[in-house]
Amino acid sequence: MKDVKATVRERYAKKAGCCDGGSATRLGYTEADLATVPSEVKRSSLGCGSPVGPAALHPGERVLDLGSGAGLDVFLASREVGPSGRVYGLDFTPEMLERARASARKEGLDNVTFLEGDIESVPLPEASVDVVISNCVINLAPDKPAVFREAHRVLAPGGRFVVADMLARAPLPASLTEDPEAWGSCLAGAIPESDYAASLRAAGFAEVLVQRAGGEAEPCCGPAVFSALIVARKS
């Protein structure tokens, strides 16, 4: 699992500043959304769906983005929660964090904070946020139950969990799940929908809803997985 994390970190470090965000509209982002985001953030943004719109954020809310990358969803959420709110972006790739922080400074955003850390051990206190979002990152975590427990811990009572992620149509073979390179390509870490939902409930979440995305999975992820929106609530 250490090899998995090292491979994922290296893969996304290389993508900082290298990628074309032109496909973001296919993931649920609108042209109006993208017009408000710095171009360098769009270029470095990856994912399988948009969690910000479905999260229905309100002014003054506190939001945590797990695996924030270059900060696309952080920037969009900061607009929704306004100056009275706060958005935390958590990532373990220094290159992505450097780009995200530079963009935030350039835009003069005072309501965002980018944190370096692992989504399996969130560096925030208990009940410190109202909403947890994520875009195609939890599938990259070797210990998903730990991610769900941490998300539940940092959410305030009644808080919302709204993420886009990759799920498997069936348990994946060991030839994939034991391959660090396959983890980095958004394939090997995907788990079946029923397991994902059960792990969320085991962490304490209620009202778990899994909604398959309208299209098929990205070509890089193969026919064994699909993208979905997962929503849950802390009681």
Pair of tokens at residue 158: 């009644």
Q: Please give the residue that has the higher pLDDT: either 217 or 205.
A: 205
What is the average pLDDT score of the chain?
Answer: 87
- pLDDT score of 14: 67
- pLDDT score of 185: 66
- pLDDT higher than 60, residue 30: yes
- pLDDT score of 45: 62
Average pLDDT value for residue range 114-142: 96
Q: Are 74 and 91 in contact (CB under 8 A)?
A: no
Number of domains in the chain: 1
- pLDDT higher than 50, residue 2: yes
- pLDDT higher than 70, residue 64: yes
- pLDDT score of 178: 81
Average pLDDT value for residue range 150-170: 96
Residue with tokens 């948009």: 50
The residue segments making up the domain with residue 28 are 2-234
Low-confidence winner among 56-70, 101-115, 144-158, 208-222 (lowest mean pLDDT)? 208-222
Burial readout 154-193 (b: 16 or more C-beta within 10 A, e: otherwise): bbeeebbbbbbbbbbeeebeeebbebbebbbbbbbbbbeb
Instruction: Return d(Cα 70, Cα 15) in angstroms, integer.
Output: 10
Please give the single-letter amino acid code of residue 184.
G
Q: What is the CATH number of the domain that holds 203?
A: 3.40.50.150
Taking only the tens place, the pLDDT of each residue in 140-157 is: 899 999 999 999 999 999
Under the banding of pLDDT at 50, 70 and 90, the label for residue 217 is very low
- pLDDT score of 83: 97
- pLDDT higher than 50, residue 123: yes
Instruction: Return d(Cα 172, Cα 195) in angstroms, integer.
Output: 12
Average pLDDT value for residue range 78-87: 98
